[in-house]
Amino acid sequence: MTALTQAVILAGGQGTRLRPLTLARAKPVVPLLNRPFLAYQLSLLRQHGVTDVILSCSYRVEDVERALGDGRDLGVRLRYVVEKEPLGTGGGVRNAADLTSGSVFVLNGDVLCDVDLTAMRRFHESRGSRTTIYLAPVEDPRAYGLVETDARGRIERFREKPGPDETITTNLINAGVYLLDAALLRRMPPDRPVSIEREFFPVLIADGVPCFGWAPETYWRDIGNPAAYLAAQLDLLHERVKTPLAPPGARYQESWVGRGTDVPPGVRLIGPSLIGEDVVLGDGAQIGPLAVIGDGCAIAPNARIERSVLWERVHVGVHAVIEDSVIGADARIAGHAVVGPGAVLESGATVSA
């Protein structure tokens, strides 16, 4: 089997669907269980022997560099390619093409999955494929572009989002993980935006290049909007995602607690939940079920936080309630305030009672 050591991660989007959370932080490094999101993709790549990774970035690049550095802490070599102007999903890959050779994995920077990349490589080589696309089944494919394949998995065509009166021919969608020959990337023009889904792949199929779809049973979620972002954290807490990254902190009953955080006897911690480092918990506070508390937060007495994610340094007042919500860094929730369900607060937000 051919050794693979390279990947390109498309991390250039502005995260408009995830606003207001991405107004103050780049989407690729929004926290999942208090770790930068891309840490999960990088650890997945390393698990499968892919250690040379190129990030194609364009928006708030300094956020990504600050969070991930050169990748050494995650066991990979990380290089950055910065787009002066956004080049789309294809152009972002083309921008990194000169640093690649052989076969290369390409990952969309907003997908959480535990796909077996080694098995994907075996499928790719067994079919003589030059481009293999990881396909995921979804309950309602009308919100996505569809990918039609033959019985062996060879891709026959891509379909745009089907209209309400159109027949659904498959429930398989492009899941945003590709394995392809690096030489093919140079087919794309280097100086303009290109869509990898609408331009690059259809041309390869029309030219007879062997392109296959691979549809394993695995975890997959696009974290691009606040509801999906919250759901991904809950899935991680439930350990539904197979990841080499253990939740940060020490196991405490059915939860995890970071360094410098004490859980006083009067605090009710309901698992699975995660509390970060140096968090202050007031007497009578209820954390969980399914709460993620960022580093440096302060939770006042008798506050209650359920099915919610708090970023760093959030202050929650006495008897405040937060449910089914995402709270950005440095937000302040006044005593007796009720937040949620479904609230999404930008970093630095203030909520009065």
Summarize pLDDT for 265-311 with one digit per residue, the tens.
999 999 999 999 999 999 999 999 999 999 999 999 999 999 999 99
Residue 140, pLDDT > 90, answer no
Residue 167, pLDDT > 80, answer no
Residue 125 burial (10 A CB sphere; 0-12, 13-18, 19+): middle
Whether residues 143 and 288 share a domain: the answer is: no
Name the domain count of the chain. Answer: 2
Pairwise CA distance, residues 304 & 286, whole Å: 5
Q: Average pLDDT in the 2-8 region?
A: 70
Whether residues 207 and 268 share a domain: the answer is: no
Residue that is last in its domain, among 180, 196, 228: 228
Residue that is last in its domain, among 228, 263, 286: 228
Domain assignment present for 237: no
Domain assignment present for 258: yes
Whether residues 104 and 158 share a domain: the answer is: yes
Domain assignment present for 240: no
Whether residues 183 and 329 share a domain: the answer is: no
Q: Average pLDDT in the 124-130 region?
A: 93
Specify the pLDDT at position 1. 41
Between 141 and 57, residue with greater pLDDT: 57
Residue that is written with structure tokens 């990748």 in the block: 71
Domain that holds residue 141: 6-228
Confidence class for position 87, pLDDT limits 50, 70, 90: low
Q: What percent of the chain lies above the pLDDT cut of 90?
A: 56
| Cβ pair 223, 110 in contact under 8 A | yes
Specify the pLDDT at position 22. 84
User: How far does CA 225 lie from the centroid of its chain?
Assistant: 11
Residue 55, Cβ neighbours under 10 Å: how many? Answer: 27
Q: Which of 21-25, 141-145, 226-230, 287-291 has the lowest mean pLDDT?
A: 141-145
Q: Average pLDDT in the 91-112 region?
A: 80
Domain assignment present for 170: yes
Helix 117-126 × helix 38-47 angle, to 10°: 60
Whether residues 53 and 164 share a domain: the answer is: yes
Whether residues 188 and 64 share a domain: the answer is: yes
Whether residues 209 and 341 share a domain: the answer is: no
Domain assignment present for 235: no
| Cβ pair 55, 9 in contact under 8 A | yes
Q: Average pLDDT in the 170-190 region?
A: 85
Whether residues 295 and 344 share a domain: the answer is: yes
Confidence class for position 28, pLDDT limits 50, 70, 90: confident
Indicate which CATH number applies to the domain containing 127. Answer: 3.90.550.10
Whether residues 204 and 324 share a domain: the answer is: no
Specify the pLDDT at position 15. 66
Q: Dump the DSSP string for 204-271.
A: HHHTT--EEEE--S--EEE--SHHHHHHHHHHHHTT-S--S-PPSSEEETTEEE-TT----TT-EE-S
Domain assignment present for 96: yes
Domain assignment present for 234: no
Whether residues 90 and 170 share a domain: the answer is: yes
Whether residues 17 and 48 share a domain: the answer is: yes
Cis preceding linkage at 31, omega within 30 = no
Q: Average pLDDT in the 72-85 region?
A: 84
Residue 56, Cβ neighbours under 10 Å: how many? Answer: 25
| Cβ pair 23, 121 in contact under 8 A | no
Whether residues 164 and 224 share a domain: the answer is: yes
Specify the pLDDT at position 92. 66
* Average pLDDT for the chain: 88
Domain assignment present for 239: no
Indicate which CATH number applies to the domain containing 319. Answer: 2.160.10.10
Between 100 and 323, residue with greater pLDDT: 323
Specify the pLDDT at position 59. 73
